[in-house]
Chains A and B, each alone.
Chain A
Amino acid sequence: MGLLVNEPNAVKAIKADVKNFNFYYGQKQAVKDVNFSVYQNKVTALIGPSGCGKSTLLRSLNRIHDLYKGFKTEGEVILHPEQINILDKSIDPTFVRMRVGMVFQKPNPFPKSIYENVVYGLKIRGLKKRALLEQKCEESLKAAGLWDEVKDRLDQLATGLSGGQQQRLCIARALAVEPDLLLLDEPTSALDPISTSVIEDLVIELKNKVTILIVTHNLQQAARCSDFTAFMYLGELIEFGETNKLFTKPQNVKTENYITGRFG
């Protein structure tokens, strides 16, 4: 953020541009004309009350909506540096998901061993060498801060881990394939306060490696770990800006009311 103040003309690297994004569930419009940019190696938080469309927006970014029926998107989400529109139906959703990783609200490890969970993404990308897979597994688990807890039981079932450990395993699984952009959909909403703070620290640490877009209900969480924040309300993007500015000097009265707890 110091970057902006010291070098006002410096162009920050942009990872993704959301342009005129609209989303419809059947007739109902869930997201209305949203525009913002996701900056590289920064954490961008999406906040807003329930049903404001923030999860819908996030899930569009790796085309997970394609698994279901009855939705329609308009506008563009440009992924840099290739400048491809990831919403484009002609782009294979698998290609998008290979670049954009996702961690879900509820920890969802596969009922396989811890090792198998972490390397699954690599295996489907055709990596077969055991030594390389083991090395990647260790790196990813270390990056997710889980290595010390599980290094002696990599062959045990991942479903036997605690909720917080499972969620960090899911983060490790997403990191193993080195995504350009990592989407976190309320990653701590099902976790206890200690596991939550571990994951928040992890998010701050990870931004050196990967660009993160996080949806959260928890305002303190957004304030603590994000560099940019987007406030959404009833499907519209009300305000987008640097987190410290948005939380201290919100431009819009709705934002101010929300972050001061007057509604939502």
Chain B
Amino acid sequence: MRKSPMKKDKNRNNIMAKDPILAKHNKTEKLIKSKNIKDQLFYLFGFLILVAASFILFALISDLFIRGASRLNFDFLTHFPSRKPEAAGILSAWVGSLAVMLVTSSVSLVLGVMTGIYLEEYAPKNIFTFLIELAIVNMAGIPSITFGLMALGIFVYQFNFGQSILTAGLTLGLLVLPIIIVTTREALKSIPNHLREAAYSLGASKYQIVRDHLLPYSSGGILTGMILALSRAVGETAPLITIGALTFIAFLPTPPIQSTPPFVSFEWLWDGFTVLPIQMFNWVSRPQEEFHINAAATGAILLMLTLILNAGAIWLRYKFRKRYHW
């Protein structure tokens, strides 16, 4: 029973070899087959790499969460660090992270978006602009600790800002500046020229076009870049250690809102601080095992923060894509 189809197949091959058109078909068939095999191999290869990468990530995350599980509770968030590991918390660290991020985002958003708009919409194409662009690209590749050294020299010693929230915010702000500039420029580039022409033809000035069209249409891209930049800045440790951030902080910055006039205070900018990754670094370098549990719990919280920020970026991108399409 098995033999007859085989025989038939052989016959078919014979006929095909004689007829040039059929032979050509045969060749094409073989080519497609070999392409399909390559396709499937590539698919398999890619899939395996994806599985491996996801597995490592999953293992790391679950390890952090399992180790830190016993400390992941509300008390951990509301207590200051302590010599006793079971009483220690990350209150000063997350408040510090939040305050530093606030300064970082204001500095980098204003500087980055302005630079992006200038380079994309205003700057003439000359050697000066070219050098600025080159500097920005290189800035993205500078090791973060170098930013820390620069900040130590300029902000701490030259401007006497001290080891403060302001210094840290400015340092991280400069660190993520290239990310914001590049995303702003990309967002502006993706706005088609015919929309600019439409606005110009109605008699709008350049400033009006930037304000009424380019900024709103690119806001999704800019915000996405902002969030991605923050999720990088929130995990930075090296430059903050370089400027001399303290590792043991048992107090909170001055509250920004006061009960006495003028009610608003910027005193907190000058306060000492610690941030989540530094707190983590501190605990991990202790010999006691109990502190390592604290470090794992802090890591888990930092990771969740980053994931939330990234999810926010994806959501924003989706929302703005739906609103602004052309």
B interface secondary structure, majority: helix
Of A27-35, A94-102, A208-216, the one contacting chain B is A94-102
CB distance from B190 to the nearest CB of A (A): 12
Residues of B within 8 A of A157 (CB): 323
Contact status of A101 and B201, CB under 8 A, knowing A108-B194, A108-B195, A111-B326: yes
Say whether A111 contacts B325, CB under 8 Å.
Answer: yes
Residues of A within 8 A of B65 (CB): none
- Bin chain A's interface residue count: 20 to 34
Q: Which residue of A lies closest to B192 (CB)?
A: A108
CA of A64 to CA of B202, assembled, Å: 11
Q: Which of B153-204 contact A (CB under 8 A)?
A: 192, 194-204
Contact status of A97 and B201, CB under 8 A, knowing A67-B196, A108-B194: yes
- A75 in contact (CB, < 8 A): no
- B208 in contact (CB, < 8 A): yes
Say whether A94 contacts B203, CB under 8 Å.
Answer: yes
- A39 in contact (CB, < 8 A): no
CB distance from B191 to the nearest CB of A (A): 9
Contact status of A120 and B199, CB under 8 A, knowing A106-B194, A111-B217: yes
Contact status of A170 and B198, CB under 8 A, knowing A111-B217, A111-B323, A111-B325: yes
Residues of A within 8 A of B195 (CB): 108, 110-111
Q: Which of A171-195 contact B (CB under 8 A)?
A: 173-174, 177
Say whether B217 contacts A124, CB under 8 Å.
Answer: no
Q: Which residue of B202, B205, B212, B325 has the most chain A CB atoms within 10 A of its CB atom?
A: B202
Contact status of A124 and B204, CB under 8 A, knowing A111-B324, A111-B325, A159-B326: yes
CB distance from B29 to the nearest CB of A (A): 43
Say whether A121 contacts B202, CB under 8 Å.
Answer: yes
Residues of A within 8 A of B326 (CB): 108, 111, 159
CB distance from B200 to the nearest CB of A (A): 6
- B213 in contact (CB, < 8 A): yes
CA of A11 to CA of B212, assembled, Å: 44
Residues of A within 8 A of B208 (CB): 124
- A104 in contact (CB, < 8 A): yes
CA of A120 to CA of B204, assembled, Å: 9
- A243 in contact (CB, < 8 A): no
Say whether A124 contacts B197, CB under 8 Å.
Answer: no
Say whether B200 contacts A177, CB under 8 Å.
Answer: no
Q: Could you mark each residue 212-231 of chain B with 1 if its beta carbon is under 8 Å from any beta carbon of chain A, else 0?
A: 11000100000000000000
CA of A97 to CA of B212, assembled, Å: 18
Say whether B201 contacts A62, CB under 8 Å.
Answer: yes
- A125 in contact (CB, < 8 A): yes
CA of A59 to CA of B77, assembled, Å: 64
- Identify B202's interface contact among A106, A111, A120, CB under 8 A: A120
Say whether B197 contacts A64, CB under 8 Å.
Answer: yes
CB distance from B120 to the nearest CB of A (A): 14
A-B interface, 5 closest residue pairs, ranked by CB to CB distance from nearest: A98-B203, A121-B202, A102-B201, A108-B194, A97-B203
- Which of A's residues lie within 8 Å of B, judged by CB? 62, 64, 67, 93-95, 97-98, 101-102, 104, 106, 108-111, 120-121, 124-125, 157, 159, 170, 173-174, 177
A-B contact pairs, 10 of them (CB 8 A): A97-B201, A104-B197, A104-B201, A120-B202, A120-B212, A124-B204, A124-B208, A125-B203, A159-B325, A170-B198
